[in-house]
Chains A and B, each alone.
Chain A
């Protein structure tokens, strides 16, 4: 049963580490909301995303295990690096693990996948510094 389980300290550390890694790899800000969401989960996720320090450069992953809802919200600047297709792939990864009963593992894998998808190495020819 996924819903209602409190995260252990180890789980939190693992998710924090995944968030930190994704931020280091991508240069974006990643936030995770794990808990109850309002009825309109998408609007709720967008409202939470808007409250972040830098919404345009942030990715919010909202997961409500009780209602089995997962939302990913990306800011305007993030969308140039992390398109909706990459988000859908990460969602597929996460929901697969959720269906298997692995909430923490799904979150970790999804966050890592989002971070890697948002990674774009700097290219000299693209920045005009040849």
Chain B
């Protein structure tokens, strides 16, 4: 058995003897295999990622926007005086709550 015979045993490029002849795949089948399957896998991964992110949003909630965090933002009265530059922080103790206030 020559080199070509060994190669054909390791990497059979043709139908083995005794086996039914394998039909050649059509271009549509090849396209489906090379493009369709990766596309489906990508869609599955993207879908699961999107679902997990929306679950996290539902769990913790988008609380940044005042219209969603609280019903009705209070009206704003326009500030007439210039806010001084720099940082001014103060601590307040009222109604049992803690925290601090600051202007910048």
Q: Check B104–A84 contact: CB distance below 8 A.
A: no
Digitize B62-84: 1 where CB-to-A-CB distance is under 8 Å, 0 elsewhere. Answer: 11111001100111110100010
Q: Check B63–A19 contact: CB distance below 8 A.
A: yes
Q: How many residues of B contact A (CB 8 A)?
A: 35
Tell me whether A39 is interfacial, beta carbon within 8 Å: yes
Tell me whether B96 is interfacial, beta carbon within 8 Å: yes
* Complex contacts, A15 vs chain B, CB 8 Å: 64
* Complex contacts, A31 vs chain B, CB 8 Å: 63, 69
Range, interface on chain A: 35 or more
* Complex contacts, B11 vs chain A, CB 8 Å: none
Digitize A65-96: 1 where CB-to-B-CB distance is under 8 Å, 0 elsewhere. Answer: 01111111111101100111001100110111
Q: Check B102–A91 contact: CB distance below 8 A.
A: yes
Q: Check A84–B60 contact: CB distance below 8 A.
A: no
Q: How far is the CA of A30 from the CA of B104 in the complex (A)?
A: 22
Q: Which partner residue on chain B sits nearest A44 by CB separation?
A: B74
Tell me whether B101 is interfacial, beta carbon within 8 Å: yes
Contacts A20-B56, A39-B77; is A74 near B101 (CB within 8 Å)?
no
Q: How far is the CA of A71 from the CA of B59 in the complex (A)?
A: 25
Tell me whether B1 is interfacial, beta carbon within 8 Å: no
* Complex contacts, A59 vs chain B, CB 8 Å: 99
Q: How far is the CA of A44 from the CA of B97 in the complex (A)?
A: 13
Starting from the known contacts A38-B74, A49-B97, A91-B102, 4 additional A-B residue pairs (CB-CB under 8 Å) come to: A7-B65, A36-B75, A84-B98, A98-B104
Which positions in A face B, CB cutoff 8 Å? 7, 12, 15-16, 19-20, 23, 31-39, 41-42, 44-46, 48-49, 51, 55, 59-60, 66-76, 78-79, 82-84, 87-88, 91-92, 94-96, 98-99
5 closest Cβ contacts across the A-B interface?
A: A36-B76, A72-B99, A95-B104, A35-B66, A74-B98
